[in-house]
Amino acid sequence: MRFLVVLIMSCFAVFNSYAASINDTIIIKSDNSSERISNDLDSLTNVWYVKMAMKNNPKEFSGDTTGLNYPDTLYEHRLSKINSIISLPFNNIIRSHIEVYTVRQRDKFCAVLGLKDYYFPMIENVFDSYGIPAELKYMAVIESALNPNAVNGRSGATGMWQFMYSTGRMYGLTINSIVDERKDPLKSTHAAAKYLKDLYSIYNDWVLVISAYNCGPGNVNKAIKRSGNKKDYWEIYYRLPRETRGYIPQYVAAAYAVTYYAEHNLQPMQLNIPLATDTIIVNKDIHLAQISEVMGIPLDELRALNPSYRTGLVPGSSKPQSLTLPMNHLGDFIDLNDTIRNYKSNIYLNKATRIADPTRSTYVTADIKGKTKLIYTVQDNDNLGYIAEWYKVGLSDLRNWNNIYLNTIRVGQKLVIYVDKSKSEFYSQINSMSFEEKQKTIGKTATANSQPEKVTSPQEESDGEFITYTVRNGDTIWDIVKMFDNVSTSQVLSLNNISSAGKLQVGQKLKIKKKS
């Protein structure tokens, strides 16, 4: 009996010691939320602008451990200097999350820093219109690493603000097999602002609002009830789902890392996102691939600007839809609207397109400036793969230059090919070679011209303000515009009183405005 009493008293002592040190326990207890941060940052490598930046400007960010030796007092001081109506405490869990951003995943966090310059102004503007604290923008960093296409494989939560299907529909987002507005940065931010405002009307505490956004108000209400109706995040900490316990530390870490990245030798990744964009409402079906191929805008760039269109189809005929374009392309789109919709409409606008996207490539249009244009006549036994290898060009480029969707070509067909100007003599001979001779060129390096190629300028005549270009065999209006730096398709068509881009004729004289 005495042993039992001693055992019970010992248990009470252990429990009281645990309760008295609960804040210390919070400081040392770890969770798996660092893994979630890493997974979200890893997903950024699939964002087109990030992928292009990493490909074109690879940098070595690893090996810099700035911050690992910083004292806790320095972190506490810096956090206290951040203007925020939301409390930003510090403990070792928060420090661990900060180190994920600034040390372990620093290369990918540079991509977040690049994306914030594009998305944060939009988020701040929307939140301000709803009376939401601007600093809640950091939630988008921990929800998705600012990735509009982020999808949680376990829960199905989608988009920059990670809406579940039911919550997204509740706040007015369209979600079907063609459109998923959870991936639309602007529309989903409006929905997030409405949801946050509704949560604040329940809790009147922004930390609890952030918690409820993560795990749902039902779970927060249970934690409050089980804690004796206490409404302080740290007092209900152990009653919350495990993932939510790490959510506030993640939020604090994101706020710190975004504010003090320079102190950790980090710089925003230079992403080629067009900061000047505009949105136009379309009332008829149109496909992003049609816009891409007619206007020469990389398809993946259009997808990045319009992530809510799952298959690439913008279903304007069912209800008006918004289309985001770089500002410098908006005028051309308006002028060429009918031409774009009629382009390969049997491929892109048929019913099958509503189910499967016929263009899943990551194709980026090749730059033809400074290249020599050649014409190849298709012969027996030819196929596009062989021709691409003979001329050392990409198969996707060859298709794009000649508006070829599949691989079907016919004998006698004329193909436009752009090659390196310094090796044009070698490539110009291919058209007259036998099939066997052409096959022998595969894998061999093209020889340079014996003499520098004489530059044939598109400028034939000049009358001060304009130059004159003579349309050649195989030219399209988009080929011609690419030869000049200061004109658009709509300007050339308007200046020459051409109503349709398809009405160019060989030998036709076009006036081109000189570069000012």
> What six digits make up the tokens of 14?
């252990």
Mean pLDDT in residue range 383-390: 83
Homologous superfamily, domain 371-440: LysM domain (3.10.350.10)
Most confident of 8-12, 23-27, 93-97: 93-97
* Residues 242-257: tens digit of each pLDDT: 888 888 999 999 999 9
| Contact status, residue 314 vs residue 323, Cβ threshold 8 Å | yes
* Residues 203-236: tens digit of each pLDDT: 999 999 999 998 889 999 999 999 999 988 888 9
Domain 461-513 is of which CATH architecture?
Roll (3.10)
Please give the pLDDT value at position 65. 77
CA angle 91–92–98, rounded 5-degree value: 95
Please give the pLDDT value at position 492. 80
Mean pLDDT for the chain? 80
pTM here is: 0.63
* Residues 336-383: tens digit of each pLDDT: 888 898 888 888 887 654 544 444 433 344 557 678 888 999 988 888
Looking at residue 267, its amino acid is Q
Please give the pLDDT value at position 357. 45
> What six digits make up the tokens of 109?
């966090």
Please give the pLDDT value at position 367. 59
Please give the pLDDT value at position 328. 86
Please give the pLDDT value at position 163. 94
Flag whether pLDDT at 398 surpasses 70: yes
Nearest one of 415, 409, 391 to 474, comparing CA atoms: 415
CA angle 197–201–206, rounded 5-degree value: 70
Flag whether pLDDT at 145 surpasses 70: yes
**CATH number for the segment(s) 31-264:** 1.10.530.10
Q: What is the DSSP string of 366-399?
A: PP-TTEEEEEEE--TT--HHHHHHHTT--HHHHH
What is the rounded distance in angstroms from the CA atom of residue 44 to the CA atom of residue 462?
A: 49
